[in-house]
Structure formats: structure tokens, C-alpha cells
């Protein structure tokens, strides 16, 4: 009995996987943490310290095992203007206050509200993040030595083609090492990481932010802190859901929300720039390296600090062109290109396109990801009112109270299972629908009966496509039956057109 409660990472095979995964992620975190520091306008050490404290803390208090939290571009974009206008002390104060906001929001159940963020808003959020990160790289490509251009091109080429050779070593790391060796060996004079500031040579020391503790300070930092809290929670909860889908496991989203707050408070007191979950690094940890426990997250932070403190002089020689190449590829991989493909736009309902475009426009205009998400959700409500009428809105609101349910019956011979879905399938319900099926243990023949359900939007079609894909990955067939006329029409129009981007 006692042995059954032993942590899974104590298994030699799992332990080896987790350790190697943590090392790979730590190596991959270095260029991004430095790049995000540049976006925020702080020394590279600040972003590296933040990545260390975020990863180590969230490994203990987070709700989603194996998810990587560190300094991120989303938080850097929000917090950068505060640092430039008021100074670093105010940035640290905002990070700590953002952590407090996240704990409060987590305790109030904000994780449950994520189901009411439509797919079109989430796509707009991701696309906006990619655009803003790219815009932040433009200054690094302007008014620089000519050698930066060929180095940037070479870095992009390695990032594109090296993964075709192998994935054991992250392509960003290969690109950075090769370009650094070339510039140092050839004595090429280009901007380097060392030009941005000194890297850490010792462990971080906790302390209070250097700001006056007055209501005026609170007035200045509170809006930025709230934006960091909202953006951090949205990106973290979306990443947690993605890992849930990949591993076919569930995680405690409320604990994750509170854990992100605790991690940001700890990071703030250690002088870090704050952060949240990282989709790209989490994919390296979970999908590429096969990690599944908290150990890999903890070791990613620990290895990162060792690499920086011990090998700081080497890291200082990295050319900025190498980091810009990495960030450009991050933008390219983050952007949902499928969402703007002509075929997708022709089939997508006008309301969904409107919401996505408005979300992107608001974020790019304000450089605030939280503003875009809030406006996007408001536009959803407006679209429903304009397209539907007040009466339809009332009827829909009543139906919202009864989210989808799934009951399952397996044939006596065990060759087929019928999942009967009951309720209204719209973005709020569809966000949870994918997790209601047992992909691993269900028979090879799966029937999804929608006779007691109604499909309202593209998010629901995307959820059904995801369910079919998960079964297909395990060699199982899915048949969707008994759709009503309206549901069949929207499903036939959009099925297979929405999930090709990521």
C-alpha cells in the first residue's frame, strides 16, 4: 500500500526521462528568457532569474504536472511599458501584485470562466501574441551592422531544416551555438547578449521592490498588475488544457491559477520580471521529451540557473541575431496560419471572423493581450444580439445553464461503445467535451450519438474534430450520428476546416 503511493518519477526509467527533459528545456529556455528580457527592457539576468524561480516554484504548487512556467513574451509585452516609464522597482511591484491578483482570481473560480472564452477569441489571442513578439524584434534588425542580416538568415535556415535531421537537441540551441562559434572565431563585430547587460554570477537574493509604498504607487502599478494577472492566467490555463489533451489526463485548473500567483509573488521578491506557462517549452518537455511529472519542471529551472551562473561568460558572447532568429520562429510557430487560409475564411461564419479580427486589432493597437480577450468576448455577445434577436438571446441563455453531458454504453461483446451527448454544444460546453471520452480503453468502434444535442458554433465542430483525431491516433473509428438538420449543416460545412493550424 505504501509502495503504491510512491512518486512515479522514482522509477529509474521515468527518472531518466524527466532528468533529460529538464536539461533540454533548460537549454531551450536560455535564448527565450534573454529575448523576453530585451522585450521588457531589463537585463538578461532578470529574465533568467524569473525563469528559474517560476519553474522551481510552479513545480511544487502548480496544478498541471510537466507544464513549464517561466518568463514569457506575453508578460514582457505587458510589463515593458511600465519599466520604461517608471523604472524597474515599479515592474517588480507590479509582478508581486499580479501574483496576489492571480491567487484571488484563482480562489474565486476564474478557471471555470475559461470555458466561456470562445475559440475565435483564443485564436485571436494566439495570433496577436505572435504579431506583438515579431514587432518587438524589429528594433534589433534596424540600424545594425550588415553582418547581422546573413547571421539572421543562417539562423532561420538552421531553425527550419535542423529538425528534419533530428529532434534530440533543440534546433534553437544548435542555431545559437553555431552562430556564436562563427562570430567569435571570425571576430565578427555584431551586437551580443553581453551588450544588453551582465548575466548573473551568483544566486538571486530576495528583497522588497524599490518603490514608495503609497497609494500613488498602487495607482500606477495596479492596471499593469491586473493585465499581467489576466494574460498570465489565460496563457497558463490554455497551455494546461493543451497538455491535458496531449496526455489524456485532467489537471486542477484552480490549483494552477493559485500556483501561478504564488510563483509570481516569489519571482517578484527575487527581483524577477514575472511570467506564466510557456506553450513552446511545454511542448518540448511533454511532446518531444516525453516528460509527465513535476520533476522535469523543477529540474528545468535548476539546470537553467547552473548553466547561467557557471557558463555566464559564454552566454554573453551569443549574437543578438541568433536570438532574433529564434523569436521570429517562435512567432511563426505560434501564429495559427490555418485560421487565415482562404478556404477556412470562406467556410467560417462571419461572426467568428469578426470576433477574431476585432481581438487581433484591439491587442495590436493597445499592445495589451488582456484588452483583446475582454473585447473579443464582448463582441461575441454583441454578435449574438445582432444576429439572433433579443428573444433568441433569452432562449439561448436558458439553454446555457444546461451544459453538455455524456453517457456511455458498451456492447456486451465489447466491440463497440455508444456515447450519447445531451445538451447544447457551444464554445463553453465544447471546451470541456473533449475530456469526457476514454480514448485509451474504448473499443475500436466508437459511436457518438448527438440526437439529444445541438451544435451552435465552430468551437463545437472543432471539438468533435479533435475527438475524432484522438481516436484515430489510436487506430479507432468514430461515427457521429443523429444530428438535427441545423447541426448537420454546420458540421458538414466546418468539419475538417478548423484544426489544421496547431
Q: Please give the grid coordinates belonging to residue 372.
A: 483583446
Q: Please give the grid coordinates belonging to residue 348.
A: 467560417
The pLDDT of residue 248 is 80
CB atoms within 10 A of CB 120: 29
Q: What is the spatial distance between Cα 42 and Cα 62, in angstroms, rounded to a whole number?
A: 27
Is the dihedral angle over the CA atoms 29, 35, 36, 38 positive or is it negative?
A: positive
The pLDDT of residue 396 is 52
The pLDDT of residue 1 is 42
Residue-by-residue DSSP string for 241-308: HHHHHHHT----HHHHHHHHHHHHHHHHHTT----EE-HHHHHIIIIIS---SHHHHHHHHHHHHHHH
Predicted confidence pLDDT, tens digits, the chain (502 residues): 444 566 776 677 788 888 888 887 887 788 778 878 888 888 888 999 999 999 999 999 999 999 999 998 888 988 988 999 999 999 999 999 999 999 999 999 888 776 666 777 778 877 887 888 788 788 888 888 999 999 999 999 998 888 888 766 767 778 888 999 999 999 999 988 877 767 777 778 888 998 999 999 999 999 999 989 988 998 898 888 878 877 888 889 999 999 999 999 999 999 999 999 987 788 778 876 788 899 999 999 999 998 888 887 887 888 989 888 887 887 887 788 888 888 878 777 777 788 788 888 887 887 666 566 667 666 665 655 555 444 454 455 445 545 678 888 888 888 889 999 988 787 666 667 887 888 888 898 999 998 888 888 787 888 888 888 889 988 899 999 988 988 888 888 888 776 654 4
The pLDDT of residue 501 is 41
Q: In a 3-state reduction of DSSP, which class is residue 408?
A: strand
The pLDDT of residue 56 is 96
CB atoms within 10 A of CB 115: 17
The pLDDT of residue 12 is 78
The pLDDT of residue 128 is 81
Residue-by-residue DSSP string for 433-501: HGGGS-TTTS-SEEEEEEEEEEE-SHHHHHHHHHHHHHHHTTT-EEEEE---HHHHHHHHHHTTSSSS-
Which residue is it, cell 472564452? 117
Q: What is the spatial distance between Cα 182 and Cα 167, in angstroms, rounded to a whole number?
A: 22
Strand 69-70 to strand 276-277: parallel, antiparallel, or no bridges (unpaired)?
Answer: antiparallel
- Please check whether residue 192 is in contact with residue 318, taking contact to mean a CB–CB distance below 8 angstroms: yes
In sequence order, what are the residues at sequence separation of 6 or more whose Cβ sits closer than 8 angstroms to the Cβ of residue 118? Answer: 352, 355, 376, 377, 380, 427, 457, 459
The DSSP element (H or E) to which 364 belongs, if any, is helix 350-366
Amino acid at each position: 500500500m505504501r509502495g503504491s503511493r510512491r512518486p512515479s518519477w522514482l522509477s529509474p526509467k521515468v527518472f531518466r526521462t524527466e532528468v533529460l527533459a529538464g536539461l533540454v528545456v533548460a537549454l531551450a529556455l536560455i535564448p527565450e528568457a534573454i529575448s523576453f528580457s530585451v522585450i521588457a527592457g531589463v537585463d538578461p539576468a532578470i529574465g533568467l532569474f524569473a525563469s528559474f524561480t517560476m519553474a522551481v516554484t510552479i513545480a511544487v504548487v502548480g496544478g498541471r504536472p510537466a507544464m513549464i512556467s517561466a518568463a514569457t513574451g506575453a508578460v514582457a509585452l505587458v510589463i515593458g511599458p511600465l519599466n520604461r516609464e517608471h523604472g524597474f522597482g515599479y515592474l517588480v511591484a507590479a509582478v508581486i501584485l499580479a501574483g496576489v491578483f492571480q491567487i484571488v482570481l484563482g480562489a474565486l473560480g476564474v478557471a471555470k470562466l475559461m470555458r466561456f472564452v470562445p475559440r475565435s477569441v483564443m485564436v485571436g489571442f494566439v495570433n496577436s501574441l505572435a504579431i506583438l513578439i515579431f514587432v518587438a524584434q524589429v528594433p534589433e534588425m534596424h540600424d545594425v551592422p550588415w553582418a547581422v542580416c546573413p547571421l539572421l538568415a543562417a539562423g532561420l535556415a538552421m531553425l527550419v531544416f535542423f529538425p528534419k535531421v533530428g529532434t534530440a537537441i533543440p534546433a534553437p540551441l544548435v542555431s545559437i551555438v553555431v552562430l556564436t562559434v562563427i562570430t567569435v572565431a571570425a571576430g565578427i563585430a555584431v551586437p551580443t547578449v553581453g551588450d544588453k547587460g551582465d548575466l548573473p554570477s551568483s544566486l538571486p537574493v530576495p528583497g522588497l521592490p524599490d518603490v514608495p509604498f503609497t497609494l500613488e504607487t498602487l495607482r500606477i502599478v495596479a492596471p499593469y498588475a491586473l493585465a499581467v494577472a489576466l494574460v498570465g492566467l489565460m496563457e497558463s490555463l490554455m497551455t494546461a488544457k493543451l497538455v491535458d489533451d496531449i496526455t489524456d489526463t485532467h489537471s486542477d485548473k484552480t490549483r494552477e491559477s493559485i500556483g501561478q500567483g504564488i510563483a509570481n509573488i516569489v519571482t517578484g521578491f527575487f527581483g524577477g520580471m514575472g511570467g506564466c506557462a510557456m506553450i513552446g517549452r511545454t511542448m518540448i518537455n511533454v511532446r518531444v521529451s516525453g516528460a509527465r511529472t513535476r520533476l522535469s519542471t523543477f529540474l528545468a529551472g535548476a539546470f537553467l540557473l547552473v548553466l547561467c551562473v557557471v557558463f555566464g561568460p559564454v552566454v554573453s558572447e551569443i549574437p543578438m541575431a541568433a536570438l532574433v532568429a529564434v523569436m521570429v520562429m517562435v512567432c511563426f510557430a505560434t501564429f495559427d496560419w490555418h485560421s487565415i487560409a482562404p478556404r477556412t475564411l470562406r467556410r467560417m461564419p462571419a461572426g467568428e471572423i469578426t470576433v477574431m479580427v476585432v481581438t487581433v486589432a484591439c491587442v495590436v493597437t493597445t499592445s495589451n493581450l488582456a484588452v483583446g480577450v475582454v473585447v473579443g468576448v464582448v463582441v461575441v455577445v454583441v454578435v449574438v444580439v445582432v444576429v439572433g434577436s433579443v428573444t433568441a438571446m433569452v432562449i439561448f441563455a436558458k439553454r446555457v445553464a444546461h451544459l453538455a453531458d455524456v453517457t456511455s454504453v458498451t456492447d456486451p461483446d465489447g466491440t463497440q461503445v455508444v456515447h450519447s451527448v445531451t445538451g447544447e454544444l457551444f464554445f463553453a460546453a465544447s471546451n470541456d467535451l473533449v475530456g469526457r471520452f476514454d480514448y485509451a480503453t474504448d473499443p475500436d468502434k466508437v459511436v457518438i450519438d448527438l440526437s439529444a444535442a445541438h451544435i451552435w458554433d465552430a468551437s463545437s465542430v472543432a471539438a468533435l474534430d479533435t475527438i475524432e483525431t484522438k481516436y484515430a491516433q489510436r487506430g479507432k473509428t468514430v461515427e457521429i450520428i443523429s444530428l438535427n438538420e441545423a447541426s448537420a449543416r454546420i458540421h458538414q460545412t466546418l468539419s475538417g476546416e478548423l484544426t489544421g493550424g496547431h
